Copies of this chain bind each other. A is one copy, B any other.
């Protein structure tokens, strides 16, 4: 055995072939790709403009019934991840439409799901025996393994943005799903019960606090928006984020969901954020405002109800034309729990 002289390439090829027969491979030929110096994210920046896609969303109502579809959702697929149903490598997003009189049947799954309401008023989500009526800007969650269904008893279609950790759970081989015997689960608690129980600065006296997902499942826009407005009076704006709040589980102050972090931020008219990048690819949407986001060389112009995505570890900044409220979500809780999250702030140039 003499390591002094490396083997001729031809010998290596034969050796590699014999390795392959034993399900082995030489690390040194692939190490650079496996352990890169910094993230080389595969997703691309992308935007789905409401004006562009609204008709297609509405048309889905003609194409398939809610009953047949189980969930009538148009997946927002990252153009760089074609065929994967992913908007980032670990997250899924879609636009769901539910028509008057329809029900999206009750089921439960290991995946965490969020809804950010874009259009319409008065449809409901039922979670674990309680209904909540939804309005634009509301942030609604359906925690892992809880029965949930949606229904529209208003006389308008309703559309919301869905966000799920479907790719992550698939990657971990840890997903289970079950259908409820009926379309609708029984309602056992009055509307507003969860918010009263957990959302007013108090908790049930004997609550055990062991759940990893928020028991509050609707964070009404009315309250969140008012909080942002109050804080904006301070004028203490973060250069990268403006005024930015994170939705939390009141039982432990952690993110509202175990795998998906969600934020709401106010950017005043004329504000330009300082450059920022982080290891969590992020999906943005907004219910009011207008502006643009510059990601490396790309420029995404956005307005109300648009959805766009910023890849991991890519410098970006927002430029605001009209006061905007941006909702965003990413896998940051996963990265933080695993000790992997990194972020970097740049200098504001203008």
Residue of B nearest to A87 (CB): B23
Q: Is A273 an interface residue (CB 8 A)?
A: no
Interface 9-mer from A119-127, A222-230, A294-302, A315-323: A222-230
In the complex, 14 of the A-B residue pairs with CB atoms within 8 angstroms, ordered by the A residue number, are A6-B68, A23-B46, A23-B78, A24-B53, A28-B70, A37-B177, A144-B340, A172-B279, A174-B340, A202-B224, A204-B244, A205-B265, A212-B339, A337-B337
- Chain B residues positioned under 8 Å from A245 (CB to CB): 197, 202-205
Rounded to whole Å, the gap between the CB of A156 and the closest CB of chain B is 11
Knowing A176-B39, A196-B226, A279-B173 touch, does A2 contact B62 (C-beta < 8 A)?
yes
In the complex, the count of this chain's copies comes to 4
Residue of B nearest to A197 (CB): B231
Rounded to whole Å, the gap between the CB of A118 and the closest CB of chain B is 15
Q: Once bound together, how far apart are the Cα atoms of A169 and B170, in whole Å?
A: 15
Residues of A within 8 A of B (CB): 1-4, 6-7, 11-12, 15, 18-19, 22-28, 30-31, 34-42, 46, 48, 52-53, 56, 58-66, 68-79, 85, 89-90, 92, 94-95, 99, 102, 109-111, 144, 157, 166, 168-178, 189-190, 192-193, 195-197, 199-206, 209, 212-213, 216, 219, 223-224, 226-228, 230-231, 233-234, 238, 241, 244-253, 258-259, 263-265, 279, 281, 311-313, 331, 334-335, 337-342
Q: Once bound together, how far apart are the Cα atoms of A42 and B171, in whole Å?
A: 10
- Beta-carbon contact of B230 and A172 below 8 Å: no
Interface centre among A58, A249, A338 (most CB of B within 10 A): A338
Contact for A231 among B42, B92, B177, B196, CB less than 8 A: B196
Q: Once bound together, how far apart are the Cα atoms of A143 and B12, in whole Å?
A: 32
Knowing A190-B234, A250-B253 touch, does A241 contact B166 (C-beta < 8 A)?
no
Residue of B nearest to A37 (CB): B177
Residue of B nearest to A101 (CB): B3
Q: State the 7 A-B residue pairs at the shortest beta-carbon distance, nearest first.
A: A196-B230, A202-B245, A173-B312, A27-B73, A28-B69, A174-B340, A196-B227
- Chain B residues positioned under 8 Å from A69 (CB to CB): 26-28
- Chain B residues positioned under 8 Å from A172 (CB to CB): 89-90, 279, 331, 334-335, 338, 340
Since A24-B95, A28-B68, A168-B338 are in contact, a sample of 13 more A-B pairs with Cβ atoms closer than 8 Å, ordered by chain A residue number, is: A1-B99, A6-B64, A12-B63, A22-B52, A23-B76, A26-B69, A27-B94, A28-B69, A89-B171, A201-B216, A202-B247, A259-B339, A334-B338
